[in-house]
Amino acid sequence: MPPTTVAAMPTTTAFPPRQRQGYLTEKLPLASVTDSPTPTISNHNAPKEEAPEETSLPYWLMNIPQSQWTPTCPSYLRDISQKNIDILSTPDHLYQRQGWNLVTELVRTNRIDRFQRLPSDLRRYLEYKERIIAEHGSIMRFVVKERLRWGEGRQSDLRAKGRPFEFDEDLRILHNDWPYGLEPDIVHLVVWTKFPLEEDPVVDDLTPRARREIDGFVRRTFHARMAPEQVTWFRNWRSLKSVHAVEHFHVMLYRPPPAFLEEITRGDCPAHVIG
């Protein structure tokens, strides 16, 4: 992904190559990442400073009271990626929240696969997804009907009125219902769109034209009210997305004015807080 402090670097910036298929099993949890101007990712093989009783627990028992332990793995924690298993295996108290320097560095270097949730939040998120699918039939139906209010959750509800970013009614800015494990002064938003964002399937990434379109939207929407260095955006690679049926990209803001947040999200509150 390009750097999304738009004024800082051209959208044609080349990013270093990344793994295509195996990155989800890359064992590099961010619990040990330090937030510095030039952050580095620690080696997953480095020993964790855990109590003996923590290291012996199965991943599905970590970060929950013993009274909630089960002899078998819950259904929502089965058949998950090795990356998620590694995260869930980390005690919350060893997780270091990601600060703004690190966030912008991961976006700048196109290492968005290094974003992750607090271990206990990831557990709740996976449980929440299972419940949403059971109650609504699909994540797409829930997002379109309950969060975006664009209709009944049918594919026809996602027909755009015009070109990308031409009409406000073709997009919606909401809080990320389950944000990454960020420091408290960072707000994680999602821009949902009825129109597709053009991508190059060969590299699993946005085309230069799509980047320019998003850059223009970010300038108009966010830079008018916040300094460019307080705004960054990225779109997950297709292989990283948890919601494929509705197009979206992510915007992170550093210390945004509360009134501005209220305005651009139309008073939105994360769904898991509502329900």
pLDDT in tens, 2-38: 444 444 333 333 344 343 322 222 333 333 333 433 3
Residue 273 has pLDDT above 90, yes or no: no
CA–CA dist 260, 98 (Å, integer) = 23
Residue at token pair 């990831």: 122
Query: How far out from the chain centre does Cα 148 lie?
Result: 17
How far apart (Å, rounded) are the C-alpha atoms in residues 188 and 116? 12
Q: Is 201 exposed, middle or buried (0-12, 13-18, 19+ CB in 10 A)?
A: exposed
pLDDT for res 55: 61
Provide the pLDDT for residue 105: 98
Scanning the chain, the segments in alpha helix (DSSP H) are 52-55, 82-88, 100-108, 119-136, 139-142, 208-218, 258-264, 271-274
Please state, in angstroms and rounded to a whole number, the distance separating the CA atoms of residues 238 and 99.
25
Residue 264 has pLDDT above 70, yes or no: yes
Please report which confidence band the pLDDT of residue 64 belongs to, taking 50, 70 and 90 as the band edges: very high
Q: Above 90 in pLDDT, residue 245?
A: no
Residue 188 near residue 182 (C-beta atoms within 8 A): yes
The span from the first CA to the last CA of the chain, in angstroms, equals: 33
Which whole-number Å values give the CA distances from 230 to 1, 146, 173, in the listed order? 17, 30, 17
% pLDDT > 70, the chain? 76
Could you tell me the pTM of the whole model?
A: 0.78
| Cβ-Cβ contacts under 8 Å for 179 (sequence gap 6 or more) | 117, 188, 270
As a whole number, mean pLDDT of residues 71-100 equals 96
| More confident site: 243 or 155 | 155
| pLDDT for residue 254 is more than 90 | yes
37: Cβ contacts below 8 Å, ≥ 6 apart? 101
Whole-angstrom distance, CA of residue 38 vs CA of residue 102? 8
Q: State the pLDDT at residue 46.
A: 41
Q: Who has greater pLDDT, 34 or 268?
A: 268
Kindly report which listed range (2-16, 172-186, 240-254) carries the lowest average pLDDT score.
Answer: 2-16
What mean pLDDT is reported for the chain? 82
Q: Specify the pLDDT at position 238.
A: 72
- The pair of three-digit structure tokens given for residue 264, joined into one six-digit string: 């651009």
- For the ranges 24-28, 54-58, 153-157, which has the lowest average pLDDT? 24-28
**Residue 56: predicted pLDDT:** 84
pLDDT score at 272:
57
Q: Please compute, for residue 217, the number of CA atoms within 13 A of its CA located in the half-sphere on the CB side.
A: 27
* Distance of alpha carbon 188 from alpha carbon 1, whole angstroms: 17
The tokens for 253 are 């803001």
Q: What is the pLDDT of residue 16?
A: 41
Q: Positive or negative, the Cα torsion across 51, 57, 60, 66? A: negative
